[in-house]
Amino acid sequence: MAEKFVRAIFPGSFDPITNGHLDVIARGTKLFDELIIAVGRSPVKNQLFTPEERVEMIAELISDMPGVSVESFDGLTVEYAAKKKGDVILRGLRSLTDVQYEFQLAMTNRAVAGIETIFIMTSEQYGFTSSTLIREIASLGGNLSNLVPANVYDRLQQRLNRKK
């Protein structure tokens, strides 16, 4: 019997990518043959970095991870996953609040597109971290060096210094 190749899509805004996201990515690489980090272009969210900047930052972080790639996409995640022949959607869970939202999303994705969602619970030290919270702390001058990768921290500092 041939071994099954599994391609996972890890969608998100990643504005910016956090150590929590990287934790999910690193753990996902142990479960899937290929992992595509899919940077969504959300018209709703107030974004700090362009999709191109986010892809660039993530590409720096995953350059030594075989089988992991990053690109941006427009539209519905399930349509992107189908286009990329994704077998599953990977999502990180931080809290019980995430579970309710993610459960609804996963059920909808399965009903609409027949794609399964695999959840990885984030490590305890990242359970409270979100990109929204990171942007807020950064805008108020807080120290984020232990919550985001060094390249992201530097870009956050540069971006916010330009805005002042």
Residue 71 gets the label, from left (phi > 0), alpha (psi -120 to 50) or beta, of beta
**Is 30 an active-site residue?**
no
- Catalytic residue from among 13, 21, 54, 135: 21
Instruction: Give yes or no: 21 in active site.
Output: yes
Q: Choose, from 13, 54, 91, 131, the residue flagged as catalytic.
A: 131
Q: Which residue in 13, 54, 91, 94 is the catalytic one?
A: 94
In sequence order, the 6+-apart residues with CB closer than 8 A to the CB of 157 are 138
Q: Looking at 42, 45, 83, 85, which residue is catalytic?
A: 45
Task: Look up residue 88 and give its DSSP letter.
Answer: E
Number of C-beta neighbours around residue 131 at 10 A: 22
Determine whether 4 is an active site residue. Answer: no
**Residue 94 bears catalytic tag:** yes
Cα distances (Å, whole numbers) of residue 152 to 3, 19, 24: 37, 10, 17
**Cis geometry, peptide bond prior to residue 16 (ω within 30 degrees of 0):** yes
Residues belonging to the active site: 21, 45, 94, 131
